[in-house]
Chains A and B, each alone.
Chain A
């Protein structure tokens, strides 16, 4: 089982790779407590199974989700964007971050299959996976402006 500290580093390194390469946003972790994402939020999640099973989720406010989607699509801030496109973009972020995590854990867990991402909207959204799950939560800031929460929940397949 990966060390919690190492897993946190893996999650944040994967997130940085995705955000800096394709979304053009800086990801900075905070030593302070996780900021609360207030108001309407989006949670993009993707499950995985194999010799490690669980779920990765990315949670941001709706306004941050729109900024992420517009950056990904090369849109101007004032251009209109549908909720459907915003959700699709956050699903892709979850997909790419999970892909990058999977690559980084490949030597330890070579047989992990990922699902197709899904996105929900609402308030006070949480990622859960039952009692036996190990949970790693990484909070960060995007461009020193918006809070983002990455939660990686897992259990080994024979646990």
Chain B
């Protein structure tokens, strides 16, 4: 069954790059959404939940780490898989956001193969 995807990043260019890389990975989504920060993502998720969220960490208004914590309090996001996509690679930060409810972590720079590896388990 086709899945829905949301890309959350304050850079419109990075959202396009992520979308392109997801396509190059061979993964297909029936609906894609975008948000420029964690706050906007939560508003969109409450209006229309998605299966998978790819979320940056360093963003204005609401960071990705805050967004994960808030999303996990919402019924609409119970089944949503949240994969962080960030330049941050410190073990403490990764472990922290994973224990807060993220389901995966991809560091920038990334490749289509990395998206395939991290997202494929959530596509069935």
Determine if B58 and A114 form an interchain contact, defined as CB atoms under 8 angstroms apart: yes
Interface presence of B12 (CB below 8 A): yes
Q: Chain B interface: which size bin?
A: 20 to 34
How many A-B pairs fall under 8 Å by CB? 61
Residues of B with C-beta under 8 A to A102: 87-89
Q: Does B109 have its Cβ within 8 Å of any Cβ on chain A?
A: yes
Does chain B have a CB within 8 A of A144? no
Q: Which secondary structure dominates where chain B touches chain A?
A: loop
Stretch at the interface among B13-21, B39-47, B64-72: B13-21
> SS class of chain A's interface: helix, strand, loop or mixed?
helix
Contact size range, A: 20 to 34
Which residues of B are interface residues toward A (Cβ below 8 A)? 10-14, 16-17, 20, 58-60, 86-90, 107-111
Q: Which positions in A face B, CB cutoff 8 Å?
A: 17-18, 21-22, 69, 72-74, 85, 88-89, 91-92, 95-96, 98-100, 102-103, 106, 110, 114-116
